[in-house]
Structure 1
Amino acid sequence: MKKKRNWLMVFLLSIVLAVAISGCGKAASDDVGKTRVANNLEMTLEGTQLKISNDDKKQMLQLDFSVKNTGKEKAGAGAGDFKIQTKDGKKHAMYGLNANNFGDEIAAGKTLKGSGFYEIPADQKEVTVLYEPYSQEATDHVKWTVTVPDK
Protein backbone atom coordinates (compact mmCIF):
# COMPACT_ATOMS: atom_id res chain seq x y z
CA MET A 1 0.00 0.00 0.00
CA LYS A 2 2.87 2.33 0.84
CA LYS A 3 4.44 1.76 -2.61
CA LYS A 4 1.21 2.82 -4.33
CA ARG A 5 1.06 6.01 -2.28
CA ASN A 6 4.70 6.84 -3.11
CA TRP A 7 4.08 6.32 -6.83
CA LEU A 8 0.99 8.47 -6.64
CA MET A 9 2.94 11.27 -4.95
CA VAL A 10 5.72 11.04 -7.57
CA PHE A 11 3.13 11.17 -10.34
CA LEU A 12 1.34 14.19 -8.87
CA LEU A 13 4.62 16.04 -8.26
CA SER A 14 5.64 15.34 -11.88
CA ILE A 15 2.42 16.89 -13.15
CA VAL A 16 2.83 19.97 -10.94
CA LEU A 17 6.44 20.38 -12.10
CA ALA A 18 5.48 20.03 -15.78
CA VAL A 19 2.77 22.67 -15.44
CA ALA A 20 5.13 25.05 -13.62
CA ILE A 21 7.85 24.67 -16.25
CA SER A 22 5.46 25.14 -19.18
CA GLY A 23 4.21 28.40 -17.66
CA CYS A 24 7.72 29.85 -17.50
CA GLY A 25 8.05 30.25 -21.26
CA LYS A 26 5.48 33.04 -21.57
CA ALA A 27 6.02 36.56 -20.32
CA ALA A 28 3.57 37.83 -17.74
CA SER A 29 2.98 41.01 -19.73
CA ASP A 30 1.90 39.22 -22.92
CA ASP A 31 -1.67 40.09 -23.95
CA VAL A 32 -1.97 37.50 -26.74
CA GLY A 33 -5.40 35.90 -26.49
CA LYS A 34 -6.97 38.88 -24.75
CA THR A 35 -10.01 40.70 -26.10
CA ARG A 36 -10.39 44.46 -26.19
CA VAL A 37 -13.61 46.33 -27.03
CA ALA A 38 -13.84 49.61 -28.94
CA ASN A 39 -16.32 51.13 -31.40
CA ASN A 40 -18.72 48.15 -31.20
CA LEU A 41 -15.91 45.76 -32.10
CA GLU A 42 -14.64 42.90 -29.93
CA MET A 43 -11.02 42.51 -31.06
CA THR A 44 -8.92 39.56 -29.98
CA LEU A 45 -5.21 39.35 -30.72
CA GLU A 46 -5.08 35.60 -31.29
CA GLY A 47 -1.42 35.04 -32.06
CA THR A 48 1.95 36.33 -33.20
CA GLN A 49 4.62 34.97 -35.53
CA LEU A 50 7.90 36.21 -36.92
CA LYS A 51 8.26 36.10 -40.69
CA ILE A 52 11.28 36.73 -42.89
CA SER A 53 11.96 40.38 -43.69
CA ASN A 54 13.84 41.60 -46.78
CA ASP A 55 15.80 43.97 -44.52
CA ASP A 56 18.45 42.46 -42.19
CA LYS A 57 17.91 45.27 -39.66
CA LYS A 58 14.18 44.55 -39.39
CA GLN A 59 11.85 41.72 -38.58
CA MET A 60 8.35 41.05 -39.91
CA LEU A 61 5.77 40.55 -37.17
CA GLN A 62 2.54 38.80 -38.12
CA LEU A 63 -0.41 39.49 -35.83
CA ASP A 64 -3.51 37.28 -36.07
CA PHE A 65 -6.80 38.96 -35.20
CA SER A 66 -10.41 38.03 -34.68
CA VAL A 67 -12.81 40.99 -34.87
CA LYS A 68 -16.51 40.64 -34.01
CA ASN A 69 -19.00 43.39 -34.83
CA THR A 70 -21.25 43.74 -31.76
CA GLY A 71 -23.07 46.76 -33.20
CA LYS A 72 -26.35 46.92 -35.11
CA GLU A 73 -24.83 48.22 -38.35
CA LYS A 74 -22.01 46.96 -40.53
CA ALA A 75 -18.51 48.11 -39.59
CA GLY A 76 -15.10 47.94 -41.15
CA ALA A 77 -11.85 46.62 -39.71
CA GLY A 78 -8.46 45.74 -41.08
CA ALA A 79 -4.74 45.55 -40.53
CA GLY A 80 -4.39 49.27 -41.29
CA ASP A 81 -6.37 50.08 -38.15
CA PHE A 82 -3.55 48.70 -36.00
CA LYS A 83 -0.05 50.06 -35.43
CA ILE A 84 2.98 48.74 -33.58
CA GLN A 85 4.64 51.05 -31.07
CA THR A 86 8.22 50.16 -30.15
CA LYS A 87 10.03 51.01 -26.91
CA ASP A 88 11.48 54.19 -28.47
CA GLY A 89 7.93 55.51 -28.97
CA LYS A 90 7.95 55.17 -32.76
CA LYS A 91 4.83 53.84 -34.45
CA HIS A 92 5.05 51.35 -37.29
CA ALA A 93 2.11 51.07 -39.67
CA MET A 94 0.99 47.96 -41.51
CA TYR A 95 3.53 46.70 -44.05
CA GLY A 96 1.66 47.62 -47.22
CA LEU A 97 3.64 45.41 -49.58
CA ASN A 98 2.14 42.24 -48.09
CA ALA A 99 -1.00 41.24 -49.99
CA ASN A 100 -2.15 39.03 -47.10
CA ASN A 101 -3.11 41.91 -44.78
CA PHE A 102 -6.73 41.50 -43.70
CA GLY A 103 -9.53 44.01 -44.01
CA ASP A 104 -13.22 44.03 -44.88
CA GLU A 105 -16.68 45.11 -43.84
CA ILE A 106 -18.21 43.08 -41.02
CA ALA A 107 -21.97 42.60 -40.86
CA ALA A 108 -23.66 43.07 -37.49
CA GLY A 109 -23.05 40.05 -35.28
CA LYS A 110 -20.43 38.55 -37.62
CA THR A 111 -16.70 37.94 -37.10
CA LEU A 112 -13.74 38.66 -39.37
CA LYS A 113 -10.47 36.79 -38.89
CA GLY A 114 -7.18 37.64 -40.51
CA SER A 115 -3.56 38.66 -40.18
CA GLY A 116 -1.70 41.94 -40.30
CA PHE A 117 1.99 42.27 -41.14
CA TYR A 118 4.25 44.91 -39.55
CA GLU A 119 7.95 45.51 -40.14
CA ILE A 120 9.73 46.52 -36.93
CA PRO A 121 13.39 46.91 -35.86
CA ALA A 122 15.15 43.57 -35.35
CA ASP A 123 16.17 44.26 -31.75
CA GLN A 124 12.61 44.53 -30.38
CA LYS A 125 11.62 42.00 -27.71
CA GLU A 126 8.33 43.58 -26.62
CA VAL A 127 5.98 45.92 -28.47
CA THR A 128 2.61 47.57 -27.97
CA VAL A 129 -0.16 46.92 -30.49
CA LEU A 130 -2.38 49.99 -30.85
CA TYR A 131 -5.88 50.13 -32.31
CA GLU A 132 -5.97 53.50 -34.09
CA PRO A 133 -8.55 53.27 -36.87
CA TYR A 134 -8.60 55.71 -39.75
CA SER A 135 -11.70 57.71 -38.95
CA GLN A 136 -12.66 61.34 -38.88
CA GLU A 137 -14.96 60.82 -35.91
CA ALA A 138 -13.84 60.35 -32.32
CA THR A 139 -13.08 56.69 -31.67
CA ASP A 140 -12.04 54.50 -28.79
CA HIS A 141 -8.42 53.40 -28.67
CA VAL A 142 -7.15 50.22 -27.03
CA LYS A 143 -3.81 48.45 -26.84
CA TRP A 144 -2.10 45.12 -26.21
CA THR A 145 1.42 44.48 -24.91
CA VAL A 146 3.06 41.67 -26.84
CA THR A 147 6.29 39.74 -26.44
CA VAL A 148 7.93 39.35 -29.85
CA PRO A 149 8.42 35.63 -30.54
CA ASP A 150 11.94 34.26 -30.99
CA LYS A 151 13.20 33.58 -34.49
Structure 2
Amino acid sequence: MYKERIVNNVEDMNDFAQQLSTHVFPGFVLCLEGDLGAGKTTLTKYLGKAIGIDDMINSPTFTIMKIYEGKLPLYHMDVYRLNGIGADYDLEDYIYRDGLCVIEWYKHIIDSLPEDRLVIEIEIQGPTKRLLKMEGHGTYEAIVEALSN
Protein backbone atom coordinates (compact mmCIF):
# COMPACT_ATOMS: atom_id res chain seq x y z
CA MET A 1 0.00 0.00 0.00
CA TYR A 2 1.24 3.46 -0.90
CA LYS A 3 0.14 6.77 0.66
CA GLU A 4 1.53 10.29 0.90
CA ARG A 5 1.51 12.79 3.73
CA ILE A 6 2.74 16.37 3.94
CA VAL A 7 4.65 17.66 6.96
CA ASN A 8 4.99 21.43 6.93
CA ASN A 9 7.67 21.87 9.62
CA VAL A 10 9.62 20.08 12.34
CA GLU A 11 6.63 20.23 14.69
CA ASP A 12 4.60 18.28 12.12
CA MET A 13 7.48 15.80 11.78
CA ASN A 14 7.47 15.35 15.55
CA ASP A 15 3.69 14.77 15.49
CA PHE A 16 4.13 12.21 12.72
CA ALA A 17 6.86 10.42 14.71
CA GLN A 18 4.60 10.35 17.78
CA GLN A 19 1.84 8.78 15.69
CA LEU A 20 4.26 6.28 14.14
CA SER A 21 5.56 5.30 17.59
CA THR A 22 2.13 3.93 18.50
CA HIS A 23 2.52 1.33 15.73
CA VAL A 24 6.07 0.08 16.35
CA PHE A 25 6.66 -3.34 17.86
CA PRO A 26 9.64 -5.63 18.54
CA GLY A 27 11.17 -6.45 15.17
CA PHE A 28 9.79 -3.34 13.43
CA VAL A 29 11.80 -2.36 10.33
CA LEU A 30 11.62 1.23 9.06
CA CYS A 31 13.44 2.00 5.83
CA LEU A 32 14.19 5.65 5.04
CA GLU A 33 15.25 7.27 1.80
CA GLY A 34 15.69 10.90 0.79
CA ASP A 35 18.23 13.50 -0.23
CA LEU A 36 20.77 14.86 2.22
CA GLY A 37 18.96 17.19 4.59
CA ALA A 38 15.53 15.74 3.82
CA GLY A 39 14.88 14.75 7.44
CA LYS A 40 15.75 11.06 7.79
CA THR A 41 17.73 11.56 10.98
CA THR A 42 15.26 14.17 12.26
CA LEU A 43 12.43 11.66 11.94
CA THR A 44 14.58 9.06 13.71
CA LYS A 45 15.35 11.50 16.56
CA TYR A 46 11.68 12.22 17.14
CA LEU A 47 10.73 8.55 16.86
CA GLY A 48 13.45 7.63 19.36
CA LYS A 49 12.22 10.26 21.78
CA ALA A 50 8.66 8.95 21.37
CA ILE A 51 9.78 5.46 22.46
CA GLY A 52 11.56 6.78 25.54
CA ILE A 53 15.12 7.37 24.39
CA ASP A 54 16.75 10.25 26.24
CA ASP A 55 20.15 10.04 24.54
CA MET A 56 21.07 12.45 21.76
CA ILE A 57 20.34 10.65 18.50
CA ASN A 58 22.56 11.69 15.62
CA SER A 59 23.48 10.30 12.24
CA PRO A 60 25.49 7.07 12.23
CA THR A 61 27.04 7.99 8.86
CA PHE A 62 30.61 7.22 9.89
CA THR A 63 29.86 4.40 12.34
CA ILE A 64 27.25 2.59 10.19
CA MET A 65 25.07 1.86 13.25
CA LYS A 66 24.27 3.28 16.67
CA ILE A 67 22.26 1.49 19.35
CA TYR A 68 20.01 3.30 21.81
CA GLU A 69 17.96 1.91 24.71
CA GLY A 70 14.33 2.90 25.25
CA LYS A 71 11.03 1.02 25.54
CA LEU A 72 12.50 -0.90 22.61
CA PRO A 73 16.14 -0.91 21.57
CA LEU A 74 16.66 1.36 18.56
CA TYR A 75 19.13 0.16 15.94
CA HIS A 76 19.81 3.25 13.82
CA MET A 77 21.72 2.46 10.64
CA ASP A 78 23.10 4.63 7.86
CA VAL A 79 24.16 2.25 5.13
CA TYR A 80 24.92 4.80 2.43
CA ARG A 81 28.57 3.76 2.22
CA LEU A 82 27.93 0.01 2.16
CA ASN A 83 26.36 -0.39 -1.30
CA GLY A 84 25.56 -4.09 -1.17
CA ILE A 85 28.15 -5.21 1.36
CA GLY A 86 25.91 -5.11 4.45
CA ALA A 87 26.51 -8.80 5.11
CA ASP A 88 30.13 -7.95 5.88
CA TYR A 89 28.92 -5.91 8.87
CA ASP A 90 26.51 -8.50 10.35
CA LEU A 91 23.68 -5.96 10.16
CA GLU A 92 21.15 -8.75 9.74
CA ASP A 93 21.86 -9.70 13.36
CA TYR A 94 20.20 -6.39 14.31
CA ILE A 95 17.63 -6.09 11.52
CA TYR A 96 16.00 -9.32 12.69
CA ARG A 97 16.21 -8.65 16.45
CA ASP A 98 13.39 -7.62 18.75
CA GLY A 99 14.00 -3.90 18.53
CA LEU A 100 13.12 -1.01 16.26
CA CYS A 101 15.43 -0.97 13.27
CA VAL A 102 15.66 2.32 11.33
CA ILE A 103 17.74 2.10 8.17
CA GLU A 104 18.74 5.23 6.26
CA TRP A 105 19.61 4.67 2.58
CA TYR A 106 18.08 1.18 2.85
CA LYS A 107 18.35 0.45 -0.88
CA HIS A 108 22.07 -0.19 -0.40
CA ILE A 109 21.27 -3.39 1.55
CA ILE A 110 17.83 -4.23 0.16
CA ASP A 111 18.72 -7.91 -0.30
CA SER A 112 19.30 -8.19 3.47
CA LEU A 113 15.88 -6.82 4.44
CA PRO A 114 12.72 -8.71 5.39
CA GLU A 115 9.74 -8.66 3.04
CA ASP A 116 7.61 -7.00 5.75
CA ARG A 117 8.78 -3.44 6.27
CA LEU A 118 7.71 0.19 6.22
CA VAL A 119 9.40 2.39 3.64
CA ILE A 120 9.28 6.17 3.86
CA GLU A 121 10.86 8.37 1.23
CA ILE A 122 11.19 11.95 2.40
CA GLU A 123 11.07 14.51 -0.39
CA ILE A 124 12.03 18.14 0.16
CA GLN A 125 9.16 20.44 -0.86
CA GLY A 126 10.47 23.72 0.58
CA PRO A 127 12.65 25.08 3.41
CA THR A 128 10.65 23.18 6.06
CA LYS A 129 7.99 21.34 4.07
CA ARG A 130 8.40 17.63 3.32
CA LEU A 131 6.40 15.03 1.41
CA LEU A 132 6.41 11.63 3.08
CA LYS A 133 5.90 8.85 0.55
CA MET A 134 4.96 5.81 2.59
CA GLU A 135 4.83 2.26 1.37
CA GLY A 136 3.85 -0.67 3.55
CA HIS A 137 5.03 -4.12 2.61
CA GLY A 138 3.25 -7.18 3.98
CA THR A 139 1.88 -6.65 7.48
CA TYR A 140 2.86 -2.97 7.36
CA GLU A 141 0.09 -2.03 4.89
CA ALA A 142 -2.39 -1.28 7.69
CA ILE A 143 0.16 0.99 9.38
CA VAL A 144 0.49 3.07 6.21
CA GLU A 145 -3.28 3.46 6.08
CA ALA A 146 -3.33 4.66 9.71
CA LEU A 147 -0.42 7.09 9.17
CA SER A 148 -1.93 8.71 6.11
CA ASN A 149 -4.67 10.42 8.14
Q: Give the alignment's TM-score, normalised by structure 2.
A: 0.25
Hey, which of these two has a bigger chunk of helix by percent? 2
Q: Larger relative CO (CA 8 A, sep 6+): 1 or 2?
A: 2
Structure showing greater Rg: 1
Hey, which of these two has a bigger chunk of strand by percent? 1
Q: Give the alignment's TM-score, normalised by structure 1.
A: 0.25
